[in-house]
Structures are given as structure tokens and as C-alpha cells.
Amino acid sequence: MKSVKEITTESKIQDRLKKIPICLELVKYLFADAELQEMQEYANNVSIRRLGYNDHGPVHMRQVVGNGIKMLNILHEAGIKTSLEQEEIGSFEDSMCAVILAGLMHDLGMSIGRQGHENMSALLAQPIIERALMHILPDDLHRRVVIKSIATEAIIGHMSTRKIHSIEAGIILIADGCDMTKGRARIPMAINTTPRVGDIHKYSANAINRIGIHRGERKPIKIDIEMSGDVGFFQIEEVLLTKIDASPAKQFVELYAGVAGQERKCYL
């Protein structure tokens, strides 16, 4: 059974896609996919209970999709074309479909383990991507191939350990880094009390009160982060900033962060 957080996040995602019917149909199909749900939940079990990491399950993957949709829409409204649009090989809708697919499947490989999980995610995602695209684009092989390729690049590239080249994959990289608020660390903080590898990620994420993704002033996308303590700077400087630096979408992002009640630090 889906959690209240999952259902609420799904509703927000669908609201953001009302003007893009093909993408709305895609998320509805994926949210109803029982196998994908089981894979996300098992990945979270391995991440939290076996390995002691933060949430890498259905809520996290939905949050990443929500972040990605928001950022891609901001770029679109600012007149900035995606890689598929620039290359005249696909549409904005195709790019959005790729971001949705990648966001919902980028951490499936955590069901196997942490090391190289992005490659395992891409492997596990292929049959789901293929059947989802056959559902929404049964008569368009070209679009299915293009969308699957971009989604796979985004999945494999979400750890910033592999060079990526598309704006779409770059958006997923940043969208993943932006899901680091205290809610993501709540369960591992509660059930894992002995020191373990990865603890700094839990404690730093637990210090992040709020992350806002808005239209920027100097650049199209503004990311604004409020923290309860200085330990949150680890999450920003060692995780999020690393991902932004590796992203082809870096040029479109401004980043601010600071402890509540104090002046924000401008990183980008």
C-alpha cells in the first residue's frame, strides 16, 4: 500500500503535467505499475535497513521526478531548449518523458547494492521503460528510441561519476541532489543508532529544513536552501554542488544556502 507521502507527491506531479497529456498518461501508467512499485520498495529496504543509507525508495524517486519537472518547466518558460530540441531530434514532451522515466527508476539498482547502483538501475529499468513507452507511443519507434536513450543516460549519470552530455540528464543529476531534506533521513535516523558508513549523509540531510526551486534572478533556476545547523553544509558542498558542477545544466542554475536566521551564502 502506498504511503500518504507517495500519494501526495503523485498528485502534485500530475497537477504539473496537466498541460502535457502524453506525460500525464506516462506518470499515471508508471504510478500504477505494480512491479515498479515493488522494486522501489525493495531498493529502499536495502538502502535503509541493510546499508544504513537515506531513503532511496518510492518517495525519493517521486521527489526527484517532481524536482525535474519543475526545473524543466522553468527552462521551457525561459525559452531554453532541451538537448533533444536543440538537435531537432525530439520535442520538449519527449525530454519531459525521459526525465520522468529516469527520475522514477534511477535508484532501482539500490536493490542490489550501493556500488555501481546507477549501472544496475539502468539494467533493471529497461523492460519497464520499454513497456511504458509502448503504452504511450505504440506506433512511433523513433520517439521510443530517443526517449529511452536519454532516460538511460540520465539514470547512469545521476551519481556524477560518468560524463553526461544532455540537458535532460543534467536536470536529473541536479533534481536528485535537491532531495536532501530532513524527511529523507527520518527513518534511517530512527532505526540505525550505531555508527555506520554513510552516517554523515543522514545527519547532514537531517539539518536541511527546506529546499526551494524557483525562477531565478540572474539565471533561470534558483535553488534556495534553509538549514537548521552547519552540518547541512556537507550535503550541499559534497553532494549537491558536486552534482551541479558535473551537470550540463549548471549554466542555468543559481544556488543559495544558509542556516535559518542567517544570511544565505551564494555558491553559484
Mean pLDDT for 125-151 is 98
Q: Environment class of residue 91 by beta-carbon count within 10 Å: exposed (0-12), middle (13-18) or buried (19+)?
A: middle
pLDDT class of 171 with cuts at 50, 70, 90: very high
% of the chain residues with pLDDT over 90: 83
More confident residue, 93 or 204: 93
Q: What pLDDT is stored for residue 195 in this prediction?
A: 52
208-215 and 265-266 beta bridge pairing: unpaired
| Residue 188 predicted with pLDDT over 60 | no
In angstroms, what CA-CA distances link 125 with 108, 117, 143, 195? 7, 12, 18, 33
pLDDT level of residue 10 (50, 70, 90 thresholds): very high
- Please check whether residue 165 is in contact with residue 157, taking contact to mean a CB–CB distance below 8 angstroms: no
The pLDDT of residue 214: 97
Question: How buried is residue 157: exposed, middle or buried, by Cβ count under 10 Å (0-12/13-18/19+)?
Answer: buried
Question: Environment class of residue 122 by beta-carbon count within 10 Å: exposed (0-12), middle (13-18) or buried (19+)?
Answer: buried
Reduce the DSSP state of residue 113 to 3 states and report it: coil
**Does residue 52 surpass a pLDDT of 90?**
no
Q: Which of 150, 155, 147, 159 is nearest to 105 (CA)?
A: 155
Residues of the chain with CATH 1.10.3210: 4-177
Grid cell, residue 187, equals 527513518
Band of residue 189 on the pLDDT scale cut at 50, 70, 90: very low
Per-residue pLDDT band for 219 (boundaries 50, 70, 90) equals very high
Q: What is the mean pLDDT of residues 218-229?
A: 96
In the beta sheet, which residues pair with residue 211?
Answer: 225
Whether 26 and 137 have beta carbons less than 8 Å apart is answered as: no
Rounded to 10°, the helix 58-77/167-177 angle is 130
171 or 207, greater pLDDT: 171
**Residue 102: pLDDT above 60?**
yes
Residue 35 to residue 38: CA distance in whole angstroms: 5
Note whether 43 and 128 are within 8 A (CB): no
Does the pLDDT value for residue 186 go beyond 50?
no
- C-alpha distances out from residue 206 to 46, 108, 128, 136, 188, Å: 20, 23, 33, 39, 10
Cβ neighbours, 10 Å, residue 257: 22
Q: Which residue has the higher pLDDT, 86 or 202?
A: 86
The CATH architecture of the domain made up of 4-177 is Orthogonal Bundle (1.10)
Q: What average pLDDT does the segment 88-95 reach?
A: 98
pLDDT at residue number 178:
96
The Cα 192–Cα 223 span in angstroms is 30
Q: Rounded distance, CA 205 to CA 218, Å?
A: 27
pLDDT of residue 166 exceeding 90, the answer is yes
How large is the average pLDDT for residues 60-78? 98
